[in-house]
Chains A and B, each alone.
Chain A
Amino acid sequence: MRLSWIEIRDFRNYHEASLQVPPGLIVVIGPNAQGKTNLLEAMYYLCTLESPRVSSDLPLVRSVTFSPGGGGQPPASLSPGPSSAFLRGEAESSGGRALIEVEVRGGGQNRVQVNRSPVRRKRDLRRHVRAVFCGPDDLRIVQGEPDDRRRFIDECVRTLWPAKEGTASAYERALRQRNRLLKDWPGPAAPPGLEGWDAELVGHGAALTSVRAGAVAEIAGRASQEFQRLSGQTAEALGVEYRPSVEPAGTETLEAAFRRRLDERSADELIRRTTLVGPHRDDLGLRVQGLTARGFASHGEAWGAALSLRLALGRAVASELGEDPVVFLDDPFSALDPERRRRLAAGLGGRGQVLIAIPDESQLPEETATVWCVREGQVAAA
């Protein structure tokens, strides 16, 4: 699948831009802070209705502009910025073409249409297009907290299987309800009605655990392969392993294991007044050369691991759908040594439509089909 064109208005530093998007490897070149990441972000947002960088939509709308006065011009003034950003474009897949139109309203609910019909849920858009984004923030998957890794796993889940998107949010709500009940109940014993929330926590928690296990199983082997290809040595493996908070013993079901663990920790829970067992305590184990990546990997290795995880997600989606998702790589080369840089560049062909943003031409991969130059929110074909 691919994007065939995009129109951008009032998004980040883009006033207006209109681009035909060819297939294959597209390289976006521009100095820092000129808008090449913003361009990738706009395209990813059109595909997923999510920014890979921020959780609020407010920063996506082009902000108030300051126009300096002088030279016979009117005095310096603050002109009110636009209240919405607009993205339009077309996605092509084996299922056909989809015209996607998004009004990103800084506050408030976005307006989204696919083929002129309103779309309410993000997962309805995923029927038409899927995308994977990898940028410098992804170092957090390797070097950050378990929370960062859980967020990555859940992103894998909803990119692979859009219909499972609600699993994480249902668990999240059951968890918040149960935690509030534990926190607010003044008595020393268990609060009344806790059993009801236990049942919801266990039901949705077991569903989330198994869907996360499934997603990691899709990613793990592929990430290891990507990492080996990048390092050029079969000995340098990346170990990827799901570490769930709840694991069944023997023939026990996941639900039974969850209940057992809750029972074991119930006294502790009443002292600490919070839920101590469940997928909100899951982690993703990452090991390079058998050592925990978080502490031991060099900057280059950590970036290589993050990149491998993202590329693996792209491969897993391709295997699930029978066609490649659109892949975005923001500044993939900077943290790599020249050898890894060369190997990554050589391996970017044959992955469908891939857009990469790099600071200068010295890193241009051989497979490059198209080059765009970005300067001050303007895009020009080179």
Chain B
Amino acid sequence: MFEGPIQDLIDELSRLPGIGPKSAQRLAFYMVKAPAQDARRLAEAIVAAKEGVRFCRDCFSVSEGELCRICRDPGRDPEVICVVEESKDQAAVEKAGVIKGRYHVLGGAISPLEGIGPDDLRVQELLDRVGRNGVREVILATNPNLEGNATAMYVAALLKPLGVRVTRLASGLPVGGDLEYADEVTLGQALEGRREM
């Protein structure tokens, strides 16, 4: 334990995901030794991101404006929606270059152990979108792990009565892994080879 502001900084940093107490300490000491303008720039970037970030009205991906770049793009097929857990998964899928349609970010996956149920995700918003916009296909690209699979199954059961085609990523992705760690080629193949649910 250190005294005063440096310990406060360590405490704040160690609350971040993936940062243990040792890393927090190293980052904190790096920051206090760095020039004052560097520290100020970092602090301002954090505040600006927090205040400036918005979520797309339609797909709930991070966005600069009311609608994100993809939802604004008239060249993207509005009748195909690719459902992902988080914005970072959308970025990974987008990089694979297979999806010509739009996205829907659920905001996580169902996990009873973490207290996350269907009502904590943007499931109703997805159903509304599908009912409203004459959607042809919904691709469920939740992570290929327990929680992602269970979420896909839950969402699929709600979508099918709406008469929409529901597909799921083909197997072949590292089991239990996250989409963000899959390479573009493998992820592209899993999307191309998607199967009916």
A residues sitting closer than 8 Å to B (CB atoms) are 166, 170, 173-174, 176-178, 180-181, 184, 192-193, 195-197, 199-200, 204
Q: A177-B113, A181-B112 are in contact. Are A200 and B118 (CB under 8 A)?
A: no
User: Complex: how many Å from CA A288 to CA B166?
Assistant: 55
Report chain A residues within 8 Å CB of B176. Answer: 166, 170
Known: A166-B176, A170-B176, A184-B112. A177 touches B147 (CB 8 A): yes
Task: Known contacts A170-B176, A177-B113; decide if A192 and B146 are in contact (CB<8 Å).
Answer: no
B111 at the interface (CB under 8 A from A): yes
Within 8 A of A (CB), among B140-197: 146-147, 149-154, 157, 176
Q: A177-B113, A180-B112, A184-B112 are in contact. Are A193 and B146 (CB under 8 A)?
A: no
Please, could you name 23 A-B residue pairs with CB atoms under 8 Å apart, sorted by A? A166-B176, A176-B113, A177-B111, A177-B113, A177-B146, A177-B147, A177-B150, A180-B113, A193-B110, A193-B117, A193-B118, A193-B154, A195-B153, A195-B157, A196-B110, A196-B150, A196-B151, A196-B152, A196-B153, A196-B154, A199-B149, A199-B150, A200-B149
**Chain B 105-132 per-residue mask, 1 if CB under 8 angstroms from chain A, else 0:** 0000011110101100000000000000
Can you name the residue of chain B whose Cβ is closest to the Cβ of A195?
B153
The residue on A at minimum CB distance from B149 is A200
Given contacts A180-B113, A199-B150, 5 further A-B contacts (CB under 8 A): A184-B115, A193-B117, A195-B157, A197-B150, A200-B149
Query: What residues of chain A lie closer than 8 Å to B118, measured between beta carbons?
Result: 192-193
Q: Which of B112, B113, B117, B147 has the most CB of A within 10 A?
A: B112
Q: How far is A184 from B118 in the complex, measured between Cα atoms in Å?
A: 14
Q: From the candidates B113, B115, B149, name the one contacting A196 in the complex (CB within 8 A).
A: B149
What residues of chain A lie closer than 8 Å to B115, measured between beta carbons? 184
Which residues of B are found within 8 Å of A174, using beta-carbon distances? 146
Q: Which residue of A lies closest to B119 (CB)?
A: A192
Partner of B154, one of A170, A173, A184, A195: A195
User: What's the least CB distance linking A203 to chain B, in Å?
Assistant: 8
Report which B residues bind A (CB closer than 8 A): 110-113, 115, 117-118, 146-147, 149-154, 157, 176
CB neighbours of B154 from chain A (8 A): 192-193, 195-196
A199's nearest neighbour on chain B, judged by CB, is B153
Closest B residue by C-beta to A174: B146
Shortest CB distance A206–B (Å): 15
B112 contacts A177, CB within 8 Å? yes
CA distance A181 to B111 in the complex (A): 9
Set of chain A residues within 8 Å of B110, measured between Cβ atoms: 193, 196
Chain B residues, CB < 8 A from A184: 112, 115
Which residues in A have their C-beta under 8 angstroms from that of B157? Answer: 195
With A and B bound together, what is the CA distance between A173 and B112 in angstroms?
11
* Inter-chain contact B150/A193, CB cutoff 8 Å: yes
What's the Cα separation between A199 and B168 when bound, in Å? 15
Minimum CB–CB distance from A186 to chain B (whole Å) comes to: 11
Query: Are the CB atoms of B112 and A170 closer together than 8 Å?
Result: no
- Give the distance to chain A from B84, nearest Cβ to Cβ, in Å: 17
- Shortest CB-to-CB span from B117 to chain A, Å, is 7
A197 to B66, CA, bound (A): 36
B151 CB contacts on chain A under 8 angstroms:
193, 196
Q: Residues of A contacting B112 with CB < 8 Å?
A: 177-178, 180-181, 184, 197
Interface centre among A170, A177, A180, A199 (most CB of B within 10 A): A177
Nearest B residue (CB) for A171: B146
Residues of B within 8 Å of A199, CB to CB, are 149-150, 153
Distance A196 CA – B151 CA, assembled complex (angstroms):
7
B149 to chain A, nearest CB (A): 6
Assembly CA distance A184 to B110 (angstroms): 14
Known: A166-B176, A192-B118, A193-B118. A200 touches B150 (CB 8 A): yes
Compute how far the CA of A382 lies from the CA of B196 in the bound complex, rounded to whole angstroms: 70
Chain B residues whose CB sits within 8 angstroms of the CB of A178 once the complex forms: 112
Task: Give the CA-CA distance A196 to B118 in the complex, in Å.
Answer: 12
Cα A179 to Cα B110 with chains together (Å): 14
Q: Which residues of B contact A193 (CB under 8 A)?
A: 110, 117-118, 150-151, 153-154
CA distance A199 to B147 in the complex (A): 11
In the complex the two chains form, what is the Cα distance from A196 to B147 in whole Å? 9
**What residues of B have a CB within 8 angstroms of the CB of A166 in the complex?**
176
For residue A176, which residues in chain B have a CB less than 8 angstroms away from its CB?
113
When distances are taken between beta carbons in the complex, the residues of chain B under 8 Å from A177 are 111-113, 146-147, 150
A173: which of B117, B146, B152, B153 is its contact (CB, 8 Å)?
Answer: B146
Q: How far is the CB of B86 from chain A (nearest CB, A)?
A: 19
Q: How far is the CA of A200 from the CA of B111 in the complex (A)?
A: 13
Complex CA–CA separation, A196 to B158 (angstroms): 12
Nearest A residue to B110, CB-CB: A193
B152, B153, B157, B176, most chain A CB atoms within 10 A? B153
Contacts of A197 in B (CB 8 A): 112, 150
- Closest chain B CB from A163 CB (angstroms): 12
Instruction: Looking at the assembled complex, report how far the CB atom of A270 sits from the nearest CB atom of chain B, in whole angstroms.
Output: 15
CB distance from B177 to the nearest CB of A (A): 12
Q: How far is the CA of A181 from the CA of B176 in the complex (A)?
A: 20
Query: B147 to chain A: which residues have CB within 8 Å?
Result: 177
Nearest Cβ distance between residue B181 and chain A, in whole angstroms? 14
Min CB gap A166→B, angstroms: 7
Closest residue of chain B to A178, judged by CB? B112
